[in-house]
């Protein structure tokens, strides 16, 4: 059972303003304590992935997913590698090795002690090349109530070459305000979006410039992993060498006793949340959205004008009958 704060149980332990006090009760080894401090101070922390079968899993995953990704993993080093689809989402549903990495019990136990609630994986992304994605916060894609009970774990499936578009991040940006629809002056509920990140990109860019922050690159070796917190700005550096692969797996984790929703399609001040139907990738079990023990159901869809007219007409008849 993970230690839960008696002071601020609705705040992840590693993000708590009482972190130095909570740290003494989190049941961490010296190495895990260093990870907790890195997450609190920088928003990310590297570690060696704890799986004795990892090498064999990587070989099988690369073989199994290469056709779906549109890449021949056995071609000569000079062959262009960026012509395929680049990534596969939720391969855990059909690939036992992807699922085993996502459901690694040592990682789940560590995250649970770092956050103060039981962690579980809900999404995987497998990449054959770098994402080249603009730095962004995951909190516009998926968030929680209470806030920030979400994290990502990126695993290098090969040594990362500088030209392959390494994972990058803005150290300390997890402590910046999380950008919401209300802050950027847009409505999210029921609105279409081509990209969930574009409405917030100008704000993120401005915050990076205002804080004079620089992108750092994670030059990982095979088998290294990186945890990042919910609001850390992260992305993929440009791939300058198209002949390089950058095999990796991202697993996103959320935590028990939370409401899970998509902020890009929500208007939180009005109580309109695009709730997520979360499934535990470790066992395929549905996880309810819970707020202080109460299950939260999706809001009813808005009634059509025809239905409203019918209801208004019925109400007028009732009112008229009562008046007589």
Residue 210 pLDDT grade (very low, low, confident, very high; cuts 50, 70, 90): very high
230: closest CA among 265, 179, 280? 179
Which tens digits make up the pLDDT trace of 44-94? 999 999 999 999 999 999 999 999 998 887 765 667 887 778 899 999 999
Give the end-to-end CA distance of the chain in Å, rounded to a whole number. Answer: 65
Q: What is the pLDDT of residue 321?
A: 52
Please name the residues in contact with 185: beta carbons below 8 A apart, sequence gap of 6 or more. Answer: none
1 is a domain residue? no
What is the value of pTM for the model shown? 0.91
Q: What is the pLDDT of residue 300?
A: 65
203 is a domain residue? yes
- Contact in structure between 43 and 174 (CB atoms under 8 Å): yes
50 is a domain residue? yes
Average pLDDT for residues 247-256, to the nearest whole number? 98
Tell me the residue length of the chain: 324
How many other CB atoms are found less than 10 A from the CB of residue 67?
11
Q: What is the DSSP string of 113-160?
A: HHHTS-EEEEEEEEESS---PPPB-GGGT-EEESTT-EEEEEEESSPP
8 is a domain residue? no
146: closest CA among 285, 287, 23, 268? 268
54 is a domain residue? yes
What is the count of structural domains for the chain?
A: 1
- Token representation of residue 122: 């809900």
**CA–CA distance, 188 with 238 (Å, rounded to integer):** 30
Q: What is the pLDDT of residue 81?
A: 81
6 is a domain residue? no
Which tens digits make up the pLDDT trace of 283-324? 999 999 999 999 998 866 555 555 555 666 666 665 555 554
Q: What is the pLDDT of residue 289?
A: 98
184 is a domain residue? yes
- Token representation of residue 194: 């081509």
Q: What is the pLDDT of residue 110?
A: 98
Q: What is the pLDDT of residue 193?
A: 87
Structural domain of 150 = 13-323
CATH number of the domain at 97, please: 2.60.120.620
5 is a domain residue? no
152: closest CA among 139, 165, 162? 139
Across the chain, the runs of DSSP E, i.e. the strands, are 44-48, 87-89, 119-127, 143-145, 150-156, 167-169, 216-217, 224-229, 234-236, 248-255, 259-261, 278-279, 286-287, 290-291, 294-295
């Amino acid at each position: 059972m993970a230690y839960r704060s008696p002071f601020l149980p609705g705040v992840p332990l590693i993000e708590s303003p009482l972190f130095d006090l909570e740290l003494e009760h989190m049941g961490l080894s010296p190495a895990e304590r260093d990870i907790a401090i890195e997450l609190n101070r920088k928003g990310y922390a590297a570690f060696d992935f704890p799986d004795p079968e990892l090498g064999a899993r990587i070989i099988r995953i690369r073989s199994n997913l290469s056709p779906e990704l549109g890449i021949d993993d056995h071609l000569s080093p000079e062959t262009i590698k960026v012509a395929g689809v680049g990534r596969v989402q939720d391969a855990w549903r059909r690939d036992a090795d992807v699922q085993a990495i996502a459901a690694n019990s040592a990682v789940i136990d560590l995250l649970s002690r770092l956050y103060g609630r039981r962690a579980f994986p809900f999404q995987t992304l497998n990449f054959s090349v770098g994402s080249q994605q603009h730095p962004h916060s995951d909190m516009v894609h998926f968030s929680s109530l209470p806030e920030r009970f979400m994290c990502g774990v990126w695993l290098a499936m090969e040594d990362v070459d500088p030209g392959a578009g390494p994972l990058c991040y803005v150290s300390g940006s997890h402590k910046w305000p999380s950008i919401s629809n209300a802050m950027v002056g847009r409505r999210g509920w029921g609105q279409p979006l081509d990209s969930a990140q574009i409405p917030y990109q100008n704000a993120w860019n401005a915050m990076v410039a205002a804080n004079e922050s620089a992108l750092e690159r994670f030059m990982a070796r095979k088998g290294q992993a990186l945890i990042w917190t919910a609001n850390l700005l992260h992305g993929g550096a440009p791939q300058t060498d198209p002949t390089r692969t950058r095999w990796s797996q991202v697993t996103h984790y959320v935590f028990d006793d939370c409401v899970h929703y998509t902020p890009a399609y929500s208007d939180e001040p009005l109580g309109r949340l695009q709730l997520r139907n979360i499934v535990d990738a470790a066992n395929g079990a549905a996880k309810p959205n819970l707020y202080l023990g109460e299950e939260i159901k999706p809001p009813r869809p808005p009634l059509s004008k025809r239905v409203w007219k019918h209801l208004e007409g019925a109400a007028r008849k009732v009112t008229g009958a009562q008046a007589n």
